[in-house]
Amino acid sequence: MTSRWTRAQDLARSRSVGALLITPGADLRYLTGYHAKPLERLTCLVVPADGDPVLVAPALERAAAEASGVEVEIATFGETDDPYARVGSLLPADAVVAVDNQMWAERVLAFQRRFADVRLAGPLLAELRMRKDPHEVAALRDAGAAIDRVHQRMGEWLRPGRTEREVGADIGRAILEEGHEQVDFVIVGSGPNGASPHHEVSDRVIQEGDPVVVDIGGTNAAGYCSDCTRNYLAGGTAPREYLDAYAVTPGSETSSSTAPATASAPRRTRSRTSWRATSSSSSPAWPSRSSPACTSRVATARGSRTSPSAPTTASRC
């Protein structure tokens, strides 16, 4: 992790920023390896443009910080101490500071009262994190492969007669079984519910012939996230409007059949992985927070409990 915050210091100096102030979230984990909980008590990594970083944390969180293997000094404060004064004691009052983009508003306001110039660190950190080292690329691929394995099992759970909530519960367990550390979201949108992009789940019973949107993701142990959406057909025959929409989606022209509900040839689908901790100046730039598109299969969910079939429908990310 040392090389990451030293590169952050180089970028800070190049932009006339005196220090970075980073609170719990993806940026803190990226710079230190510490997956800190966002609590009411301030935890803040102070990365001065010159000098060694210091992690300011509540005394009762010291053990957790040490257990994470942080390679910076840990400066603690007590229950009656002012944590913002603790941070302020590490920097000159006229320092230009850049705060992480996800910092809580009350903390930003507290730092604005203490420092004359408070900016966002997002652009600087994005430049640092957009380049992935081999370990990061491997973690991204691991996250993508794990969520693909969940989709490959969809025929185990997605069938007519079950509710979206029942299917979603099974998917959540599978996300953990297939290599994620936590479940970030599960969306099972059947029939009309598929038109709501962030529907989650409901007690609606899936009907035969329903198009079903399944949008799922989780975070692996390295801190990288999967996020993959695929459309399924719950047996039966696809509605004509659904087939017409599918016909204009990218990749549909590569199929040998125009009937997603009955075709056995795989369609091109896209899955993605996103980053929460990331980078290397020596590796090629990653084009976005997404991994490159991959080709995989999307199963049509039949009514059988034991023999899910493998034809495909459309997909989106």
Distance CA 146, CA 13 (A): 39
Does the pLDDT at position 72 exceed 70?
yes
Q: Is the dihedral of CA 312, 188, 193, 204 positive or negative?
A: positive
**Alpha-carbon gap, residue 149 to 312, rounded angstroms:** 15
CATH pick for 134-316 out of 3.90.230, 3.40.50, 2.60.120, 1.10.260: 3.90.230
Give yes or no for a contact between 34 and 55, defined as CB atoms under 8 angstroms apart: yes
- For residue 41, the model assigns a pLDDT of 96
In the predicted model, is pLDDT for residue 258 greater than 50? no
CB hemisphere CA count around 65 (13 angstroms): 23
The span from the CA of 119 to the CA of 98, in Å, is: 4
More confident residue, 293 or 88: 88
Cα 191 from Cα 199, distance rounded (Å): 12
Which is more confident, 176 or 258?
Answer: 176
Nearest C-alpha neighbor of 27 from the set 163, 123, 157, 115: 123
- Tell me, what's the pLDDT at 175? 98
Domain boundaries, the chain: 2-129, 134-316
Confidence of residue 249 (pLDDT cuts 50, 70, 90): confident
The whole-model pTM stands at: 0.75
- Percent of the chain residues topping a pLDDT of 70: 79
CATH of 2-129, one of 1.50.10.10, 3.40.50.720, 3.40.350.10, 3.40.50.2300: 3.40.350.10
Residue-wise pLDDT tens digits, 148-179? 999 999 999 999 999 999 999 999 999 999 99
For residue 137, how many other CB atoms are within 10 A of its CB? 17
- Beta-ladder partners of 20: 47, 98
CA 228 – CA 315 distance, rounded (Å) = 9
- pLDDT at residue 298 is higher than 80: no
What pLDDT, in 10s, does the model give residues 192-239? 999 999 999 999 999 999 999 999 999 999 999 999 999 999 988 888
| pLDDT score recorded for residue 2 | 78
